[in-house]
Amino acid sequence: MSYRVRDDCKLETELPMHEPAPYDLSNLTISACVDGLSLNKLSLSGAYDAVLQGGYYGVCGKRAPDDPAATRQVVAYGRVQETKFSICDATYTARWVMGSDSPVLFLKLHAQGCHPFYLDYNFGVQCMSERLNLLATSPLTLREREGDFLHYSVSVKASAYKDAFFADLAIAFDLGMTLTQDALVDATAQAEADAEAYFAYLVSLAKPNEDAAMKAYALNAAFSSYKSFSGFSGFFAGVNYAAPARTYYRDGYYTALAVLPYRPDWVREQILTLARGVARDGSCGSAVDANGEPWWRDHADSPLFFALLLYAYVSATGDDALLNTDDISQKLTAALDATVAALNENGLLYRDPASRHDWADNVFREGHVTYIECLAYGALRLGGMLLADAKRYTEAAERVKTGINAMLWDEKLGYYVNFKTPEETETNLSIDTVFAALFDIAPPERAKRMLLRMEVLLETRNNTRFGDFGTLCVYPPYSSAERLVEKSAYPLRYHNGAEWPYLSALYAFAKKIHGMEHRYPLTRWYETGLEKGFATPVEYFSPYYPAGGMLQGWSAMAAFAMDHDSPDGFFFGKLSLLK
């Protein structure tokens, strides 16, 4: 299955009924995965016991379907999936729709035919009945209940109009437990209007000569990741990262950069939530949960991303009052002071023992890790601008910069190595070292040379060993099997060479600001995703293994690369922020 982009920027495909076309929808309070007539997942953000997991079915018609090869047309956009198909001389349209903030998912069924008929819908859900308020515009018949499995039927007699017969049905899956029968029709119409306005807004954000469909595709993932409920406001990583409720420092950074021009208020709330997880010593977990507790403690890149996001927000909005809210300046100071204190005689951070506590959390990296060193430079240089002791942090940043260029640049290879210990150097080219070209770490000629090597080794239009599908996150694969765990133990999988759209977009932006052709890494993952049937941005993928989660927030980084032409305010400092 593959999608084509219509002139109205909506995605469309035609496929047999038996072939799945899952589509993720998400708003401020709920997330869902739907597929034509069936609901695959539905969850209330922040609630462990209001998650519907698998086991659903949905079938239209009085007669059981007998042709798995019968075709259906699927259209997906924003918070809508629409499916059209025919059964027994009747044509059906099923629309799953979600509004912006209501914890209700709606299914609208419409059928029409030339002869009298009944619109029959049989479906099942699995959920505690006290957590799901199920409403319909026609009476529901509970046919059986087996534990939390509920099997329903509903039937609507078609009405005659001129020479045809028509029938309509709406069903609401309400996890907020507040929708009433009397309000159902109006609520359904409001959700549809809201969903259409939302998608029109996404499309309107494209600049002249910009790919409006791709931008809407990316930004929908970012906007859909933002959740707000009691005790929590921030970006989920994706629909697969909803329980327990948590927001990641690194995922949130890239998602927030994409959202910042449109919803700076959301980015502000994200920073406040992240700040709750910064310890007194400046350390952070990989994420922070809805209780303010760290999720997977002591990740090396998390406090650095906290500093970088805080700088990007204040630089873009001028809202330096945020620094005096909830001890944020003190927490930023703690994170930067801890970084300065950890610098060794080479001016660098040394990871010992080997650890997988950064974005590549299936790889035990050790010693001087270029990615971490670059982030440390950026955090000290830019985050330090927000504090009174900016000069000290700038001096420390310069030490890091000197150390990176002295120890981690390989003149023969023409790029910065992945990581280095006294006994071992991992010499593969890792896309996460692109920060050296984004920050002013690499001299211009060195940055250009590194980006040219990435072009040759990481872009699969040039490195054709695995086919033309996007941009590798590392090449060649890691040399040491004992440093790899779980999915990354296999070549071209996960952190060991897969395509990660957010990193490809980061790399594309680096090429863009250095005056290089950047369309390929910016768009090839998107084109390949549509070819593979990914109706929303994917977390990662490769030709050989299952893809990661869909509707992934940080994959919206492509929108940031489309929106900005300069690193100023994000990777380069604005002198006006100096204290």
Domain boundary at 165, 199, 233, which? 199
3-state DSSP assignment of residue 147: coil
Q: In the predicted model, is pLDDT for residue 457 greater than 80?
A: yes
Cα 312 to Cα 319: distance, rounded to the nearest angstrom:
11
Res 302 pLDDT > 60: yes
Name the phi and psi angles at 39, rounded to 5.
-105, 115
Same domain, 268 and 416: yes
Amino acid identity for residue 99 in this structure: G
Residues 262 and 334 placed together within one structural domain of the fold? yes
Q: What is the pLDDT of residue 358?
A: 95
The last residue of a domain, from among 157, 177, 199 = 199
Percent of the chain with pLDDT over 70: 98
**Cα–Cα distance, 100 to 393 (Å, whole number):** 42
- For 468, the domain range is 205-577
Whether 126 and 194 map to the same domain: the answer is yes
Question: Please, how many CA atoms are within 13 Å of residue 185, restricted to the half-sphere of its CB?
Answer: 5
Return d(Cα 76, Cα 534) in angstroms, integer: 11
- pLDDT by residue (tens digit) across 387-438? 999 999 999 999 999 999 999 999 999 999 999 999 999 999 999 999 999 9
Residues 292 and 356 in one domain: yes
pLDDT mean over 90-104:
96
- The CATH number for 524's domain is 1.50.10.10
Q: What is the pLDDT of residues 289-300, one digit of tens each?
A: 999 999 999 999
Greater model confidence, 128 or 441: 441
- Contact, 116 vs 134, CB < 8 A? no
Question: Would you say residue 579 has pLDDT above 80?
Answer: no
**Which pLDDT value is given to residue 448?**
97
Tens of pLDDT, residues 345-357: 999 999 999 999 9
Number of structural domains, the chain?
2
pLDDT digits (tens, 9 = 90+) for 144-195: 888 888 899 999 999 999 889 999 999 999 999 999 999 999 999 999 999 9
Can you tell me the distance from the alpha carbon of 389 to that of 369, in angstroms, rounded to the nearest whole number? 27
Tell whether 179 and 228 lie within a shared domain.
no
In this structure, are 190 and 212 located in the same domain? no
Residues 289 and 422 in one domain: yes
User: Do 192 and 217 share a domain, yes or no?
Assistant: no
Q: Cis bond leading into 244, ω under 30°?
A: yes
Is there a single domain that holds both residue 482 and residue 375?
yes
What is the reported pLDDT for 61? 84
Q: Over the stretch 13-66, which tens digit does the pLDDT of each residue have? A: 999 999 999 999 999 999 999 999 999 889 898 876 555 665 578 898 888 777
Instruction: Give the tens place of pLDDT for each residue, 257-279.
Output: 999 999 999 999 999 999 999 99
pLDDT at 502 over 70: yes
CATH at 64:
2.70.98.40
Place of tokens 């799945």: 20
- Same domain? For 256 and 178 the reply is no
Per-residue pLDDT tens over the stretch 426-453: 999 999 999 999 999 999 999 999 999 9
**Listed residues 199, 223, 253: the one ending a domain:** 199
Question: Which is more confidently placed, 332 or 244?
Answer: 332
Q: How does 361-386 read in b/e, with b if 16+ C-beta sit within 10 Å? A: bbbbbbbbbbbbbbbbbbbbbbbbbb
Are 190 and 221 contained in the same domain?
no
Q: How many CB atoms lie within 10 A of CB 280?
A: 9
pTM above 0.85, yes or no: yes
Cβ pair 335, 274 in contact under 8 A: no
Q: Which of 305, 271, 286 is nearest to 241 (CA)?
A: 286
* pLDDT value for 316: 96
Round to whole Å and give the CA distance between 34 and 25. Answer: 8
CB 245 within 8 A of CB 227: yes
Instruction: Tell whether 23 and 130 lie within a shared domain.
Output: yes
578 — pLDDT class (breaks 50, 70, 90) = very low
DSSP secondary structure letters along 315-383: HHH--GGGGGSTTHHHHHHHHHHHHHHH--TTSS--EEEEE--SS-TTB-EEEEEHHHHHHHHHIIIII
Instruction: Kindly give the interhelix angle for 519-532 and 501-513, rounded to the nearest 10 degrees.
Output: 150
